[in-house]
Amino acid sequence: MNLFDHEFRRRTDLLWLLTKKEVTLKYKRTFLGILWSLLNPILLAIVLFIAFKVFMRIKMENYTFFFLSALFPWNWFSASVTMSTGALVWNVNLIKRIRFPRHFLVLSTVLGQFVNFIFALPIVIGFSYYYGGGPGMNWLITIPILIIIQFIATIGICLVISMVNAYFRDMEYIVGVVITLLFWMTPIVYPLKMVPEAYRFYLAINPLTYLITAWRDLFMSNYIDWGSIGISSGSSLIFVLLGIIVFKRLGKRLDEVL
């Protein structure tokens, strides 16, 4: 094995192990373990179903499915971003004592949350059968595309946030508030057309609107919204470029602030 292959192999191994650590540690001292990743979205779906069907009696058709089809991708994003505030700060020991690619800490955070998203997909499929004909062929092409787009965009944002939080710990609290704001500024709970024309601009400038819409269109109507996918992939490239630049720049003096 030559040196390059060896290093490549080692890096994939490292990323794999860090991600595995991310996933397993969360459930390490629980009885059900990784099963929680599957159980969580199921229980969430049941709770929401009861809330919307029994208590709130929302008039919209298939509202639970409508909500969940956007909520699961959103959760992957928001949990990654929230966790990324600690990706560097909580790993001071590793960063200061061992030399390894630091961005792996951010990558493994996003990958760890991605696992939860994967576990939520069976529920989406279940709902899809319950309310319609089940997943179509379009899912096979579009799910990987959307996953890649969302992964790239999330990585970019998480790179920035994890690094900035090392310099400016207030970031953690700012992120908490901004995530909530963003949740309500993205058509997750409500459909885009429910928003008055005058305010749609604010949703239109939010890149997440397009990504979430693309997910929902796919899950609910087996429709590939190429327009939204195009805009999302464009913005994800911008985010990841920004992320790499900020991470590299500020990373040079990381040791002084940790």
Partner 1 sequence: MSDIVQVQDVWKKFPMRRDRPGFKEFLVNLPKYVSGNSKPSFWAIKGLSLRVKRGECLGIIGKNGAGKSTLLSLILGTIYPTKGNIEVSQRITPLLELGAGFHPDLTGRENILINGVLLGLTRNEVAERMEEIVAFSEIGQFIDMPVRTYSSGMYLRLAFSVAINTDPRLLLIDDILAVGDQTFQKKSKDALLQLIKEGVTTIFVSHNLNAIREICHRAVWLDGGEIKAEEEPEKVVQEYLTRYMA
Residue in 2, 54, 61, 256 binding partner 1, rule: CB under 8 A: 256
Give the helix, strand, coil percentages of the chain, each rounded to 5: 80, 0, 20
Comparison of 148 and 170: residue with beta carbon closer to partner 1:
170
Say how far apart CA 86 and CA 96 lie, in whole Å.
15
| 202 lines the binding site for partner 1 (CB under 8 A) | no
Site string for partner 1, 104-143 (x = CB under 8 A): ----------------------------------------
**Orientation angle between helical segments 226-251 and 137-167, nearest 10 degrees:** 30
- For residues 23 and 115, the answer to whether their CB atoms sit within 8 Å is yes
Closest CA to 160 of 93, 240, 217: 240
Q: What is the torsional sign of CA 103, 105, 106, 110?
A: positive
Residue in 38, 44, 51, 94 binding partner 1, rule: CB under 8 A: 94
* DSSP codes, 107-166: HHHHHHHHHHHHHHHHHHHHHHHHHSS---HHHHHHHHHHHHHHHHHHHHHHHHHHHHHH
Say how far apart CA 167 and CA 179 lie, in whole Å.
20
Q: What type of residue sits at position 143?
A: I
Comparison of 192 and 254: residue with beta carbon closer to partner 1:
254
| 13 lines the binding site for partner 1 (CB under 8 A) | yes
- For residues 159 and 149, the answer to whether their CB atoms sit within 8 Å is no
Comparison of 37 and 108: residue with beta carbon closer to partner 1:
108
Range in contact with partner 1 (rule: CB under 8 A) among 15-23, 56-64, 192-200, 230-238: 15-23
Residue in 81, 87, 95, 166 binding partner 1, rule: CB under 8 A: 95
Say how far apart CA 165 and CA 87 lie, in whole Å.
9
In the block, residue with structure tokens 């969360």:
26
| 248 lines the binding site for partner 1 (CB under 8 A) | no
Residue in 53, 144, 169, 241 binding partner 1, rule: CB under 8 A: 169
Residue in 2, 29, 55, 57 binding partner 1, rule: CB under 8 A: 29
Q: How far is the CB of 5 from partner 1 (least distance, A)?
A: 10
Residue in 16, 129, 199, 201 binding partner 1, rule: CB under 8 A: 16
Range in contact with partner 1 (rule: CB under 8 A) among 44-52, 115-123, 214-222, 250-258: 250-258
Site residue total, partner 1 (CB under 8 A) = 26
Q: What type of residue sits at position 200?
A: R
Q: How far is the CB of 198 from partner 1 (least distance, A)?
A: 35
Range in contact with partner 1 (rule: CB under 8 A) among 17-25, 48-56, 118-126, 209-217: 17-25
**Which residues of this protein are in contact with partner 1, per CB under 8 A?**
6, 9-10, 13-14, 16-18, 21, 25, 28-29, 93-100, 169-170, 252-253, 255-256
